[in-house]
Structure 1
Amino acid sequence: MVLQVSESDEAVSAASVRAIMLHDYLHFFGVTLFYYDHAITIGQEVNYLWKRTKRSSSYLFFANRYIPFFANMAITILTLMDLTPEG
Structure 2
Amino acid sequence: MHRWLVLGLCALLALLQYKLWLGRGGVQELHQVQGRVAAQEAVNAPMRERNDRLAAEVRDLKTGLDAVEERARSDMGMVRADEQFFWVPGAEP
TM-score, length basis structure 1: 0.46
Larger Rg: 2
Higher normalized helix content (fraction of residues): 1
TM-score, length basis structure 2: 0.44
